[in-house]
């Protein structure tokens, strides 16, 4: 029974991370900024270390605040370099490697004697989630579940409040600016959401799963629909399916849970890539054959 409840918490954590990151990731994909999630997830390391120094605690709330600030700064630096004439992919590469390196140096200089090691931050192990419980308002759940569900709820709320603006900015920034929408504010609001989702999920599942879930469920959903609402819904469904399937695969083959969840997401994307009604490779081949026969 004990191991069963552990498994359930792991599935719930993975599903929450996948749903939350997939949901926010849709906007990154629409804005052709998919790799920004990867950049932010690595660049926030100095923010986590600085937050630890200032608060002298590994409390997740301080980490979240420190990392969110650095996440938004990362987006700002990338935007500044890009505006100054550096290609966007090069700007992302320069900023995230530099900030990540600063974080690694800070960890090895000042934080080597505490629990804040690079290995832990980047490859966080989802299997340990059920061991770290926290009680809030009389309800006991793993700390990671509290953290990620809180950020997910906030993401849903903010996207709900600014849905029209986010939609317009994602599809046509020029038109949004002409319509009087504060494009820059919406951009950094989205960056803050990405940073918060990244960091909330970091410690429990590690950066690899977070980066995958920011991109893959949304990319798969994008192949299946042209409507934003449907894309957001599908990305959440794909994220949850990837997490559940990944856990089953991990238990069956006795492999890394995060790795299996990420692999499942990749397989789901491949299925969409091959069989999507409009964009699918197989669907296109069949359509061409049908047209040949018709002529």
Residue 202, pLDDT above cutoff 70: yes
C-alpha to C-alpha distances, 63 to 21, 58, 237, nearest whole angstrom: 18, 7, 29
Q: What is the pLDDT of residues 208-232, one digit of tens each?
A: 788 889 999 999 999 999 899 999 9
Q: How confident is the model at residue 162 (pLDDT cuts 50, 70, 90)?
A: very high
Our count of domains for the chain comes to: 1
Give dist(CA 35, CA 22) in Å, integer.
14
DSSP string, 165-185: HHHHHHH-HHHHHHTT--HHH
pTM of the predicted model as reported, rounded to 2 decimal places: 0.86
- The vertex-79 CA angle with 75 and 85, nearest 5°, equals 150
Segments forming the whole domain that contains residue 287:
1-294
Res. 1 pLDDT band, cuts 50 70 90: very low
Here the CATH number for the domain that contains residue 222 is 1.10.3470.10
For the stretch 229-287, pLDDT in tens is 999 999 999 999 999 999 999 999 999 888 899 999 999 999 999 988 888 888 888 88
For 133, phi then psi, to 5°, come to -90, 155
- pLDDT at 94 > cutoff 50: yes
Residue 100 C-beta-side C-alpha neighbours within 13 Å = 17
Per-residue pLDDT reduced to its tens digit, 145-158: 888 999 999 999 99
């Amino acid at each position: 029974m004990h191991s069963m409840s552990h498994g359930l918490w792991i599935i719930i954590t993975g599903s929450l991370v996948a749903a939350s990151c997939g949901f926010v990731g849709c906007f990154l994909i629409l804005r052709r900024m998919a790799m920004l999630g990867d950049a932010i997830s690595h660049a926030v390391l100095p923010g986590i270390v600085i937050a630890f120094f200032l608060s002298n605690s590994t409390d997740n709330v301080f980490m979240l605040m420190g990392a969110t600030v650095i996440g938004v700064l990362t987006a700002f630096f990338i935007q500044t370099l890009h505006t100054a004439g550096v290609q966007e992919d090069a700007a992302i590469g320069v900023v995230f490697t530099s900030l990540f390196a600063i974080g690694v140096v800070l960890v090895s200089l000042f934080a080597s004697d505490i629990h804040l090691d690079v290995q832990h931050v980047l490859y966080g192990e989802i299997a340990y989630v059920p061991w770290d419980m926290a009680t809030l308002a009389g309800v006991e759940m793993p700390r990671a579940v509290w953290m990620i569900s809180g950020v997910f709820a906030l993401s849903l709320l903010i996207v709900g409040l600014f849905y029209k603006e986010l939609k317009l900015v994602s599809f046509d920034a020029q038109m949004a600016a002409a319509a009087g929408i504060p494009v820059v504010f919406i951009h950094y609001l989205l960056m803050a959401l990405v940073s918060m989702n990244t960091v909330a999920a970091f410690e429990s599942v590690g950066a690899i799963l977070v980066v995958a879930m920011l991109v893959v469920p949304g990319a798969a959903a994008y192949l299946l629909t042209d409507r934003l609402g449907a894309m957001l819904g599908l990305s959440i469904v794909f994220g949850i399916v990837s997490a559940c399937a990944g856990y089953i695969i991990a238990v069956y083959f006795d492999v890394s849970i995060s790795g299996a969840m990420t692999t499942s997401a990749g397989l789901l994307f491949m299925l969409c890539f091959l069989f999507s009604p409009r964009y699918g490779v197989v669907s296109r081949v069949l359509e061409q054959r049908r047209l040949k026969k018709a002529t």
